[in-house]
Amino acid sequence: MIDIEAIKQAALAAAKGEKSPHPIQARFLLEATPSAVLELFAKLSVAEAASKFWESHANDLATQDNKLIAEMTQQAIEAENVITDLTAKLEAVESNQILRTSARQFKQIEERLEAEKYNYLRAMADCKHLKEKLEAAENELERGRIRLAVCGTAARGYFEGCLDEYESASLDDVLLMRDKLEAAERDAERYRWLRTNPDWETYRLGTPIVFVTCNEEALPAQEGELDIAVDAAMKESK
């Protein structure tokens, strides 16, 4: 490797007329002019100084770049922090908005539930009312059936009384018709008996006087007394 400093010293020595103690340096001086070597070294020094200057300038620029990069990095970190803070605030706002929306929805659901509760209670009240009406109708139907059965019993002549709730206008009509039927049947029985017993004759000369003859003996009598007399005669003839 060429020792630049040794060559420079040899060139300076040659320019002063001195001998170089190094053979390689002497050989170099034989091949080159010392002044050219010194000029070359001067240019090299200038180039080295320029190189150092540009290296220093590059270092300064690098330092500035590093500072700029550091500042930009810091600004990026600060911007990132700002973005993070804004994102958190936005999420908080969205969360509050969601909470408000959820509160409104919950309020609406609560109102709907209250309305459904009212409708349910109203439906329950209607069902209870309808149930009471149905029970009343069933009870009335049952009373109607029993009243009808009582009327049937009375129509057959087996009626001996009933509870007040089973009495009805129809029962009164049936009992009245039953009394009339029994009276008519008794009258028919008396008439048939009188027809088969010629010793008895009746003459209706005016209301309510009736003349009854038995074995040609005239017996004036009221209509009720006539029935009693005929019934007594029918009983004796049996």
Last residue of a domain, one of 51, 75, 99: 75
Within a domain: residue 193? yes
Query: Residues 21, 12: contact at Cβ < 8 Å?
Result: no
pLDDT at res. 204: 46
Within a domain: residue 200? yes
Within a domain: residue 125? no
For residue 194, what are the CA distances in angstroms to 44, 90, 201, 217? 184, 122, 7, 16
Within a domain: residue 92? no
d(CA 12, CA 108): 104
d(CA 188, CA 137): 44
Within a domain: residue 226? yes
Last residue of a domain, one of 75, 91, 113: 75
Last residue of a domain, one of 26, 44, 75: 75
Domain count across the chain? 2
Residues 98-129 have pLDDT tens digits of 777 878 888 888 888 888 989 999 999 999 99
Indicate the pTM of the whole model. 0.41
pLDDT at res. 209: 44
Q: Which domain holds residue 215?
A: 168-237
Residues 149-204 have pLDDT tens digits of 999 999 988 888 888 888 889 999 999 999 999 889 988 887 887 777 766 555 44
Mean pLDDT of 13-36: 56
Within a domain: residue 197? yes
DSSP three-state, residue 220: strand
Query: Residues 222, 230: contact at Cβ < 8 Å?
Result: no
pLDDT at res. 195: 75
- Greatest mean pLDDT among 1-10, 125-134, 193-202 lies in 125-134
d(CA 227, CA 173): 25
User: Per-residue confidence at 132, pLDDT binned at 50, 70, 90?
Assistant: very high
Within a domain: residue 195? yes
pLDDT at res. 224: 63
